[in-house]
Chains A and B, each alone.
Chain A
Amino acid sequence: MVLIRYLIASFRVKQIICTASLLCLLIPPPTWATSWRSDIQASQLNFAPSYEGLPINGDFKEFAVIYTTDQEGEPEDLSVSVLVASADLGNSELNTEIRAAKWFNITAFPEAKFSCQEFTTDNNGKVFAHGELQIKGYKKPVTVPFSWRLLTTGEAVMRGELMLARNSFSIGSDEWASGDQIGLAVKVWFDVVLNPINPSL
């Protein structure tokens, strides 16, 4: 009797194992999303307002980019935060001016943010992040185009360029609002090196 019970039990265990194995084959493999974080030392976020049509090149010294790609390497999420007070136009007088209320008003709005969950790509592999840019309390839809390249070192590089209208965010108000001297269009371009954060399920 004991032997018979043992054989039946053993058969059931095998059945369970086989069934479980078959089920495992039917379940799709887990999706491995990868998140990437910018390496601030190796990255650049530049901006250039224009004066009489000529660029005044500057950059933001402190910013962070978090980018998430899915298993296929397709974009899922992009989040950028910029410490506006780190803006540097290479001139102390201008740096003081752009921190004032008429420009970035850094006391009230120390941070600018871009967040995006909607992406498209063109035939050349360029990614277009259709997200929302928040500066100085204003939220505006903005499309950020960028190229994305994985390096053999395991890092990735994100590069892009866009034009922003400073008046959309009330940057440069009152006497500066006309754009006659300091143009309304501001060029923004970035070259960001990102490292993968630990992959998660």
Chain B
Amino acid sequence: MGIKNTSQQWGWLSKVLHWLTALIIFLQIPLGFYAESLRLSPLKMDMFVWHKSLGMLVFLLLVIRLLWRIKGTIPQSLSASGAQKCISQAAHWLLYGLMAVLPISGWIISSAANIPIKLFWLIPLPAIVGPDESLKSVAAELHHISVLVLVAVLILHIGAALRHHLLMQDNTMRRMWF
């Protein structure tokens, strides 16, 4: 298995990026809701350090994925109609969009709330905006809506992958595995 994608197969870099992103997102969603539910405490602050750090890591992985995708190619869709291809493409680009909107809106929430960010307790991230309660509320609303949309699109994404694997019995899901 090479590093590069081909028209038939995903390269190992794309696979690593995909599964690493998937793992982080599955941690991130419950972590975010849990951290938010806590009263202000050192535990809450630690949970948010993890949430913000992993969120920015998803964003970094997204940038690498997009650069890799633009630079190379991706495998062709298997046994899908034109409409399915369209839906599949839209869902993938929506996922990419959400992987950008969520960390950036989170960054805005933190900055507008006047809370400094130190990724993994090591890397300081500058404030993207100044303290602003109303902007914080708008960004928080966007963040919450985005995560609900993300959950919906992930259900669609996983459902479609399982449909390919179990019902259509094609190579779509298998070729993303190692």
Partners in one complex: yes
| Max chain B C-beta neighbours (<10 A), residue from A52, A53, A92, A180 | A52
Does any Cβ of A come within 8 Å of B131's Cβ?
yes
Q: How would residues 22 to 57 of chain B score, 1 for a CB under 8 Å from any chain A CB and 0 otherwise?
A: 000000000000000000111001100100000000
Instruction: Kindly specify which of B2-10, B99-107, B108-116, B150-158 makes contact with the partner chain.
Output: B108-116
Contact with B along A50-72 (1 / 0, CB 8 A): 01111111100000000000000
Residue numbers of A with Cβ under 8 A of B are 51-58, 89-94, 97, 175-176, 180-181
Contact of B49 among A52, A58, A94, A175 (CB under 8 A): A52
Q: How far is the CA of A181 from the CA of B44 in the complex (A)?
A: 11
Contact A52 B113, beta carbon cutoff 8 Å: no
Q: Cα distance A89–B113 when bound, in Å? A: 9
Q: Could you mark each residue 82-125 of chain B with 1 if its beta carbon is under 8 Å from any beta carbon of chain A, else 0?
A: 00000000000000000000000000000001111110010010
Report whether B113 and A93 are in contact in the complex, using a CB–CB cutoff of 8 Å. yes
C-alpha spacing A52/B53, complex, angstroms? 14
Question: What is the bound-complex CA distance between A15 and B95, given in angstroms?
Answer: 105
B-side interface size class: 10 to 19
Are B118 and A175 touching (Cβ within 8 A)? no
Contact residues in B for A94 (Cβ distance below 8 Å): 40, 113-115
Q: Which residues of A contact B121 (CB under 8 A)?
A: 52
A–B Cβ pairs within 8 angstroms, 30 of them: A51-B116, A52-B49, A52-B116, A52-B121, A53-B118, A54-B118, A55-B116, A56-B114, A56-B115, A56-B116, A57-B114, A57-B131, A58-B114, A89-B114, A90-B113, A90-B131, A90-B133, A91-B113, A91-B114, A91-B115, A91-B131, A91-B133, A91-B136, A92-B133, A93-B40, A93-B113, A94-B40, A94-B114, A175-B42, A181-B45
Question: Given the complex, which residues of B lie within 8 Å of A52, measured CB to CB?
Answer: 49, 116, 118, 121
Q: Which of B40, B116, B124, B133 has a CB less than 8 Å from the CB of A97?
A: B40
Give the Cβ gap from A192 to chain B, nearest Cβ, in Å: 22
A181 & B114 in contact (Cβ 8 Å cutoff): no
Q: Considering residues A51, A55, A97, which has the most beta carbons from chain B within 10 angstroms of its beta carbon?
A: A51
